[in-house]
Structure 1
Amino acid sequence: MSTIAVLGMPNTGKSTLFNRLTGHHAHIGNWPGLTVDLLQADLQLSGRSVQLVDLPGIYDLRGHSDDEAVVRRFLEQTPVDLVLVVLNASQLDRQLRLALQVQQLGLPAVLALNMADEAARFGVSIQAESLSAALNQPVLPLSAKYRQGLETLQHTLLAQLEARADHPAAIPEQLEERLAAMDADLDGAMAELVERCVTLPARWRDSRSRRLDAVLLHPLLGLPLFFLAMALMFQGIYAIGVPVQEALGSLLDQFGQAVLKPLIAPLPALLQGFLLEGLYQGLGTVMAFLPVIALFFLAMGLVEDSGYLSRAAYLMDAFMERLGLDGRSFVLSLMGFGCNVPAILGTRVMRDRGLRLLSMLVIPFSLCSARLNVFLFMAAVFFPPRIGGLVIFGLYLMSFVAAMLTALLFRGRFPSNEPLVLELPPYRLPTAGQMLSRAWSEVKHFWLWSRRFIIFGVVAVWLLNNLPVGVEPASSASLAGQLGTLTQPLLAPIGINPKLAVALLFGFIAKEIVLGGLAVIYGQADPVALSRAIASDVSWPQALSFMLFTLLYTPCLSTVAVIRSESKKLSFTLLSVAWSLLLAWLVSFVAFQTITRLS
């Protein structure tokens, strides 16, 4: 099978193009000689199956970041039949360097000038034929966002592969040496190409971005407006998502009682309880929150794809610098709202090891989507709807406070002097299809990634609740009750009772288990019934302490594993785990004891 490597700079729409070509059927592949996994997918070109590999976004093949090293190692060790170079058509005066480097390495390539519609809107004119002749490779303007030019691109890729049918796949020999000896006047060659083939406007036409930036990047108004926008976003997610979640949970409960219960009636009572009260109720409770997760990713996708997320990094850079971090650390922390794992992987773009380690230490405090499930549920149980969204927003602010405190305490141990290079893209309005497709992809990834942990967790919780045989389920005589009782000397001062303690213990495996575990512990699948059961057993100060502890304590096992693999240090991983546990206990203790004494 032929291999096409997709290479491009960040913020060029490379991932959008990859998804458009492959139909979101990508999977993670492990490549020999690389320390990271890469996204790959099969692409059908007129009946011919081709393997498409999405490489990390880089600025320069000669750069020193981890991502640039990964790309070089891939090209050195993997036979590539074709390189698809993706550049932003409106920024060719700054991005042609990558295409020139691929050309000078002698790699067969096709140059895709993405966002051609945007370039035309800004007054950028490109002579594609002249550029193609100068680079000796096909050059195709297109717009992945609007699916313009994709059919032509596929035909061109197939034609290039067929033209090279008798040539072996290319591996650049002595790549490092050739890159080091590459034309020293690469900037001059790039400037000459731009002068010959690209017409830039005398005055940049993106007046919309200028007008918006005058307000949204205002030195005094910028940050308050950003946090106001985030607060409104979370209030909207809460107001729309919770009623949908409750309706879906009720339907799942009715299905279990009306359909599943009669079907498993002939089975032994213990097995019935395992299937209905353990497996189905635990999974059903988590499934009921998938619409809320979808709304969250829709909103975050709008913030990110519109270009506002980059502005947030710009606004926060000066402040983050005082913490020993930079704007990228802030953006990665925002990415951690979806999942901490890819956010930690994203620290590879940082060249300075101290900056990487400090960022990896603060990212796990980001309120990931798995923890969001728990908070949406608990907020709906213990707080009135008019302030529920503000409670969730308050937890997000608490996550930032924890991250800032961590950075302040540890910046001396992990110093950094790497400057931030940040490019602000123009404001864009994502298409509805683009947003829905992304939300669906993220929800599917969340479910496929987490279900194995959820199944293990709810089954384990059910067994702990119902063993030894003959004891009252979830009583103090059960294994769960005994385990919860053992934790009370440590957790009772922060208001965590034995039942909540068991859910927290299994949450170390994956935070997705916490809510499913509570459904099993209290024997209720319907969110309304589960809400009543917890409300009758837990006070609101206990619930708030539980939410704070869940927010801050040890990240899930997958996050810990990624921290270990990325930091390459067991001592750093243990530091991350120990510090998050200590901080979670201290914050919960102060909150619970203060509220209890004042009330």
Structure 2
Amino acid sequence: MSHCQSPIWSAPAGQATVAVLGMPNTGKSTFFSQLTGSHAHIGNWPGLTVDLLQADLDLEGRPAQLVDLPGIYDLRGHSEDEAVVRRFLESTPIDLVVVILNASQIDRQLRLALQVRQLGLPALLLLNMADEARRFGVVIDAEHLGAELGLPVLLVSAKYRRGLAQARQAMVRQLGGASGPAAPGVAAPPAAIPLLEPLLEAGEPELPGRMAALLAAAVSLPPQWRDRLTRRLDGLLLHPWLGLPLFFLAMALMFQVIYAIGVPLQEALGALLDAFGKGVLTPLLSGLPPFLKGFLLDGLYQGLGTVTAFLPVIFLFFLAMGVVEDSGYLSRAAYLMDAFMERLGLDGRSFVLALMGFGCNVPAILGTRVMRSSGLRLLSMLIIPFSLCSARLNVFLFMAAAFFPARQGGLVIFGLYLMSFAAAIVTALLFKGRFNSSEPLVLELPPYRFPTLRQMLNRAWAEVRHFWFWARRFIVFGVVAVWLLNNLPLGVAPASDASLSGQLGELLQPLLGPIGINPKLTVALVFGFIAKEIVLGGLAVIYGQADPAALGRAVAADVSWTQAVSFMLFTLLYTPCLSTVAVIRSESKRLGFTVFSVVWSFLLAWLVSFGFFQGASLLQQLGVLG
């Protein structure tokens, strides 16, 4: 049930607020990114418990703020995302709502547009994926439908940028241009809708009949869908026996390709940054006091440079994952895994969110809001931090290149991904009885679509920018702190046993020594709790090497391969970064659960690393392992 709220926020004078509203998988986010380009940013919206994607937009002289709302199925629904949209509508004066529906599924989605009309909001209806609808035999008379609804209706294809110019012009007309009145017949925007629920409830009985009349008057649906390609592919990729092996084979090949292409790019960029540091920065800073010079070169530049060198790999990773997600294959993976996940007390959505966690655990945990069951949400939050995020991927790519031949590197990375799944499975089996759920999974499988090259590149670039924007403050703090620990107190040898880092490493040896983590690796792990991005920059500072290849040789000379694997296992499983812990706290709203998740992940990481390191050491003593 919605709660009445008074308006608590309004756009700056002269700036219109335009909300983008639609169902999941309708191309809403694609439309938003195509319209705003690279100017979108995540912002905290007053009165809401979530951050929303928003961007400033100039509509022919009329400044507007475009806000991308969470995808929802029904304004009267019970999911957290649907509640967020209701709170937004109740508390925010809105000048225009851009409703985006999938044109090929208009018979199921028109209800949302009718609900917006019931609220009396000025609206524009965009029927996206119009090209796909034509391919399936769906014919829509947009002009007739618009006349019946009393609002502009346009057929667009955001993926190919078709109809976006017309959509922009329609937004201008609805808002009344730079200063003129709104288009004829468009109601003046309300201050907010404090009585949203009664309005929706009053119009509920009329919705089915209204939908049927509109579809009969303006839409022609085919007797049978014509998407033979999707049916043929699903016959193979959703095969009861072949589906899962094919999925994991595809993921293994993806990681092998990323490793094969990304590592040479990373090494080349690392060598370039190292040459710049030695050839340009070192002479430029030669006149500074030794302590300050060391801080800038050996601390700040080396740490940041090492992390920067891995950005090409991150770009390739997001590029590949974008193809998997946008093609519709990710939804198939959820379908394939649902029966297995149900035995763990989870469902296919939990599997998809775990895959999303490969990019970053934070948005994956935020995604648990689509689950209505508290038990399902909490158990999903417990397993998602085991997903091998992009920050940890940097560390593992570095370690794999330093300790294993090139042909084995991709398999090592894939093995760590399998280990992350194993940790999630063990956790779910152990705790499913504590977090019970009976919520059924309703999953829609979209047709297969291959994203355009422009889409793939823009998305990967946006993810890399977001990764760097999110991580850079932690990285700067981390590498500076590690350098200071290495070089204080004054007068001791850097990173020696007498330094603060050496003392910290020795202090924790009773805990981490049994799993093969030496004092130098310990310092990197300690700061990795703040953000896993710091681990690699911390190692660069500790070993005094900025070039990844030179750093790899320095680490390989200091630790054995068994220590390196134990370090990777511990980094994969131990306490998630501070941001993830904070999101778990805010989403679960339970301090006890947050503490439990941190303690459990640390304990599991220690047990797995202990078992591997001690077992491998024993086999080496017996001569079984080299």
TM-score bracket for the superposition, by shorter chain length: over 0.9
Separation of aligned partners in 2, 1:402 and 1:414: 17
Helix, strand or coil: the match of 2:450?
coil
Deviation at 1:346, TM superposition (A): 0.6
Deviation at 1:173, TM superposition (A): 4.2
Aligned: 1:14 with 2:28: yes
Contact in 1 for aligned 2:91/2:194 (Cα 8 Å): no
Helix, strand or coil: the match of 1:112?
strand
Contact in 2 for aligned 1:107/1:170 (Cα 8 Å): no
Helix, strand or coil: the match of 1:477?
coil
**Aligned ranges 1:525-564 → 2 under 5 Å:** 525-564=546-585
Instruction: Tell me which amino acid in the other structure corresponds to 2:96.
Output: L
Give 2:90's aligned residue: 76
Pick aligned residue for 1:590 from 611, 614, 619: 611
Aligned: 1:136 with 2:136: no
Aligned: 1:205 with 2:223: no
Give 2:47's aligned residue: 33
CA deviation string 1:516-566 (max 9, x = no partner): 000000001111111111001010000000000000001100000011111
Deviation at 1:188, TM superposition (A): 3.3
Give 2:107's aligned residue: 93
Helix, strand or coil: the match of 2:598?
helix
Give 1:290's aligned residue: 311
Sequence identity of aligned pairs in percent? 77
Separation of aligned partners in 2, 1:559 and 1:528: 30
Give 1:57's aligned residue: 71
Aligned: 1:146 with 2:167: no
Aligned: 1:401 with 2:419: no
Give 1:167's aligned residue: 188
Deviation at 1:6, TM superposition (A): 0.5
Deviation at 1:185, TM superposition (A): 4.5
CA deviation string 1:290-339 (max 9, x = no partner): 00000000000010011100000000011111111111110000000000
Separation of aligned partners in 1, 2:202 and 2:418: 49
* RMSD after superposition: 1.0
Deviation at 1:171, TM superposition (A): 2.0
Contact in 2 for aligned 1:29/1:37 (Cα 8 Å): yes
Unaligned 5+ segments in structure 1 are none
Contact in 2 for aligned 1:106/1:172 (Cα 8 Å): no
CA deviation string 1:18-41 (max 9, x = no partner): 011111311122222211111111
Aligned: 1:439 with 2:460: yes
CA deviation string 1:413-447 (max 9, x = no partner): 11111111100000001100100000100001101
**Aligned ranges 1:151-550 → 2 under 5 Å:** 151-162=165-176, 163-164=181-182, 167-550=188-571
Contact in 1 for aligned 2:122/2:188 (Cα 8 Å): no
Give 2:132's aligned residue: 118
Give 1:571's aligned residue: 592
Deviation at 1:106, TM superposition (A): 1.2
Q: 1:82 to 1:168 in 2, by over 3 A?
A: closer
Deviation at 1:52, TM superposition (A): 0.6
Query: Which shifted more, 156-165 or 239-248?
Result: 156-165
Separation of aligned partners in 2, 1:170 and 1:39: 22
Separation of aligned partners in 2, 1:444 and 1:105: 38
Separation of aligned partners in 2, 1:481 and 1:94: 64
Instruction: Tell me which amino acid in the other structure corresponds to 2:83.
Output: A
Separation of aligned partners in 1, 2:428 and 2:43: 34
Instruction: Tell me which amino acid in the other structure corresponds to 1:218.
Output: H
Helix, strand or coil: the match of 1:438?
helix
Separation of aligned partners in 1, 2:504 and 2:58: 54
Separation of aligned partners in 1, 2:588 and 2:194: 31
Aligned residues: 599
Contact in 2 for aligned 1:107/1:172 (Cα 8 Å): no
TM-score by length of 2: 0.95
Separation of aligned partners in 2, 1:81 and 1:358: 40
CA deviation string 1:556-577 (max 9, x = no partner): 0000001111111111110110
Contact in 2 for aligned 1:86/1:114 (Cα 8 Å): yes
Separation of aligned partners in 1, 2:291 and 2:143: 73
Instruction: Tell me which amino acid in the other structure corresponds to 1:90.
Output: S
Separation of aligned partners in 2, 1:168 and 1:379: 58
Deviation at 1:170, TM superposition (A): 4.5
Unaligned 5+ segments in structure 2 are 1-14, 621-626
Give 2:4's aligned residue: none
Separation of aligned partners in 2, 1:228 and 1:195: 46
Separation of aligned partners in 2, 1:186 and 1:169: 23
Q: 1:157 to 1:576 in 2, by over 3 A?
A: same
Contact in 1 for aligned 2:96/2:189 (Cα 8 Å): no
Instruction: Tell me which amino acid in the other structure corresponds to 2:98.
Output: L
Instruction: Tell me which amino acid in the other structure corresponds to 1:488.
Output: Q
Instruction: Tell me which amino acid in the other structure corresponds to 2:163.
Output: G
CA deviation string 1:151-175 (max 9, x = no partner): 1001111101114389344422411
Contact in 2 for aligned 1:4/1:83 (Cα 8 Å): yes
Separation of aligned partners in 2, 1:129 and 1:167: 23
Deviation at 1:181, TM superposition (A): 3.0
Separation of aligned partners in 1, 2:211 and 2:619: 68
Helix, strand or coil: the match of 1:440?
helix
Separation of aligned partners in 1, 2:161 and 2:341: 38
Contact in 1 for aligned 2:122/2:189 (Cα 8 Å): no
Helix, strand or coil: the match of 1:347?
helix
Separation of aligned partners in 1, 2:581 and 2:208: 42
Separation of aligned partners in 1, 2:212 and 2:355: 36
Contact in 1 for aligned 2:136/2:225 (Cα 8 Å): yes
Separation of aligned partners in 1, 2:542 and 2:466: 27
Deviation at 1:179, TM superposition (A): 2.0
Separation of aligned partners in 1, 2:331 and 2:436: 24
TM-score by length of 1: 0.99
Separation of aligned partners in 2, 1:488 and 1:511: 21
Helix, strand or coil: the match of 1:184?
helix
Contact in 1 for aligned 2:142/2:153 (Cα 8 Å): yes
